[in-house]
Amino acid sequence: MPSLAPTAPIELRHFIAGRWVEGTLSPLISDNPARPDDIVATGQQAGPAEVSLAMVAASAAARPWSRRSMHERGAVLLRTADLLAEQADRLGLELAREEGKTLSEATAEVLRAAQIFRYYGQAGDRSAGEVFSSPRRGERILVTRKPLGVIGIVTPFNFPIAIPAWKIAPALVYGNTVVWKPASTVPLLAVRLAEALEEAGLPEGVLNLLLGRGSLGTALVEHRGLSGLTFTGSTRVGRELAAAAASRGVPIQAEMGGKNASVVLADADLELAADQVLLGAFRSSGQKCTATSRLIVDERVADDFLGRLQDRLGQWIVGDPTVRGVQMGPLVSEPAAETVRRGIRAALADGATVLHEGQAPIDGAGSRCFIAPTILELSGARNAAAQNPAWCKELFGPVLTVRRASGSEDAFQLANDSAFGLAAAVFTQDVTRVLDALDEIDVGVLHVNSESAGADPHVPFGGAKNSGYGPMEQGGAAQDFYTHTMTVYLRGGTPA
């Protein structure tokens, strides 16, 4: 099936105080990484003037919004969920064009965002605090929750609608207002989400959207009116924002890098493991902080397992992600692809060998954003392997680095050999090894016999070690970040 013909670029605007306004800084262009001739959307970036206006609007809207009942706020989220679900095909296509993930992944992501809005839309039906007994007669002690105020939200390119959903939905339902800065490579999907919230009846100023480069995030964290900041993205930027927030006493939640291992033990169901490792490593071109980028396989089954993995990868279709049937698209941008190419070169110079280089599109439609799915192996001296950039640096691309282990203990040790601790996957049929993995592997999310990526909205998500900073996201954990507790010593009159 031929890919779609480019359409006229969509006009990008910022959403401030309930109005769509033009930016005042340099141009912002969202292009299709699979097709350099396809400009998806254009506009002008927001600058410091827009940051001030958005912060003023969010501050003014904070009190009236927090006074509404949680059920009333949730109703806006439930309408947003319906609107996103109704438009999933159209938004999925725009997402695939703008970000480069496949149409099926992109549409599934829009539906996932709808599911997240639905989950938080029902927060009013769940527990809103705790009740303790008191050592004093005639008294109860309540632990209730209050919103923080204005939340700054800074989101990455790789889940242009799901990650914003899992930050914006809890921020709003727990009574905060928002100033949101999405990654500059995916502004259109941000506009679409803000449009859905507007159409769902969100009052003006409750959500403000600013499009532009990273300096907007810095301006946000430096603004006096900010009450909390949530960030997903690179470790470098996360650390900078966390330091700036901490120096001003602003609570921050930062979700940063990963270098996630899949461990395949000797007794694993190798067919299942090969399917799952393939998806974990190469879906979304490996651009997930939960992607499998390290594979640790027991040496007794290594040749067999790697053969199965390579057979599958040999069939993997790389190309224009808007064409049905394509399994992997480009990376989000040429600089992103260049970084991965440099990372592969550095890994090879340090002793890695190429085990498999998959197929990249024949002509790439002229795009330099494509990288063939690649498996590297580190088989030399242990120290050298542990220092190799393919083992310790997050490349954020379709590159899987393999090491062989001499048994489960060695495998778990290798899995822990990382400064990061976001996710891991373990493949085994042996419950004793599963329980060992629970004890030994230090990550925020552990998958047993499923790929390392994926996160359900009703349970906590986040990383150990250098992968995260501050409270976890999603599920009940979100309430911890987007509210503070108020302990109420509650008495009536003199007890009978």
Residue 74 amino acid letter: G
**88 to 127: interface string for ligand UN1, x by CB under 6 A:** ----------------------------------------
Tokens of 482: 């987007």
Instruction: Give least dist CB 21 to ligand UN1, A.
Output: 29
290 binds ligand UN1 (CB under 6 A): yes
The H-or-E segment that residue 207 falls in is: strand 207-209
CB 211 within 8 A of CB 44: no
Tokens of 308: 């199965």
**162 to 201: interface string for ligand UN1, x by CB under 6 A:** -x--------------------------------------
Instruction: Report H helices in 122-182.
Output: 162-173
Instruction: Give least dist CB 264 to ligand UN1, A.
Output: 20
Instruction: Give least dist CB 473 to ligand UN1, A.
Output: 8
What is the C-alpha separation between 314 and 338, in angstroms, rounded?
A: 23
472 binds ligand UN1 (CB under 6 A): no
What 3-state class would DSSP assign to 257? Answer: coil
Distance from chain centroid for Cα 300: 35
Strands 19-21 and 14-16 come out as antiparallel
Q: In this chain, which stretch among 1-9, 168-176, 288-296, 303-311 interacts with ligand UN1, using CB under 6 A?
A: 288-296
**Applying CB under 6 A, which of residues 336, 453, 472, 478 lies at the interface with ligand UN1?**
453
**Applying CB under 6 A, which of residues 74, 149, 152, 156 lies at the interface with ligand UN1?**
156
288 binds ligand UN1 (CB under 6 A): yes
Q: In this chain, which stretch among 142-150, 303-311, 384-392, 453-461 interacts with ligand UN1, using CB under 6 A?
A: 453-461
What's the CA dihedral at 326, 332, 336, 338 to 10 degrees? 50
> What separation, in Å, do the N-terminal and C-terminal C-alpha atoms of the chain show?
80
Residue 298 or 473 with smaller CB distance to ligand UN1: 473
Residue 200 or 441 with smaller CB distance to ligand UN1: 441
CB 254 within 8 A of CB 235: no
Residue 43 or 343 with smaller CB distance to ligand UN1: 343
Residue 230 or 374 with smaller CB distance to ligand UN1: 230
Q: Which of 109, 289, 451, 473 is catalytic?
A: 289
DSSP state of 328: B
Residue with tokens 């040496």: 299
Residues in the interface with ligand UN1 (CB under 6 A) total: 12
Residue with tokens 């809207």: 61
145 binds ligand UN1 (CB under 6 A): no
Q: Which of 255, 377, 451, 473 is catalytic?
A: 255
Residue 70 or 161 with smaller CB distance to ligand UN1: 161
285 binds ligand UN1 (CB under 6 A): no
What is the side-by-side strand order in the sheet with 130-133? Answer: 130-133, 139-147, 483-491
Instruction: Give least dist CB 292 to ligand UN1, A.
Output: 11
460 binds ligand UN1 (CB under 6 A): no
262 binds ligand UN1 (CB under 6 A): no
Instruction: Give least dist CB 172 to ligand UN1, A.
Output: 19
Strands 228-232 and 292-298 come out as unpaired
Report angle CA 249, 253, 259 to the nearest 5 degrees. 135
Q: In this chain, which stretch among 32-40, 156-164, 349-357, 427-435 interacts with ligand UN1, using CB under 6 A?
A: 156-164
What is the C-alpha separation between 55 and 53, in angstroms, rounded?
A: 5
What is the C-alpha separation between 355 and 375, in angstroms, rounded?
A: 5
Q: In this chain, which stretch among 77-85, 122-130, 158-166, 377-385 interacts with ligand UN1, using CB under 6 A?
A: 158-166
- HSE-CB for 49 with a 13 A CA cutoff: 8
Active-site annotation holds for 255: yes
Q: In this chain, which stretch among 284-292, 293-301, 374-382, 474-482 interacts with ligand UN1, using CB under 6 A?
A: 284-292
298 binds ligand UN1 (CB under 6 A): no
Angstrom CA distances, 93 to 4, 40, 109, 140, 487, stand at 10, 11, 11, 54, 48
What is the C-alpha separation between 365 and 284, in angstroms, rounded?
A: 19
At residue 131, what are phi and psi to the nearest 5 degrees?
Answer: -120, 130
Q: In this chain, which stretch among 192-200, 219-227, 283-291, 391-399 interacts with ligand UN1, using CB under 6 A?
A: 283-291
Residue 290 or 293 with smaller CB distance to ligand UN1: 290
Tokens of 50: 């827009």
The total of other beta-carbon atoms located within 10 Å of residue 320's CB is: 26
Active-site annotation holds for 86: no
Binding residues vs ligand UN1 (CB under 6 A): 156, 158-159, 163, 232, 255, 288-290, 453-455
Where in the sequence numbering do the catalytic residues fall?
A: 255, 289
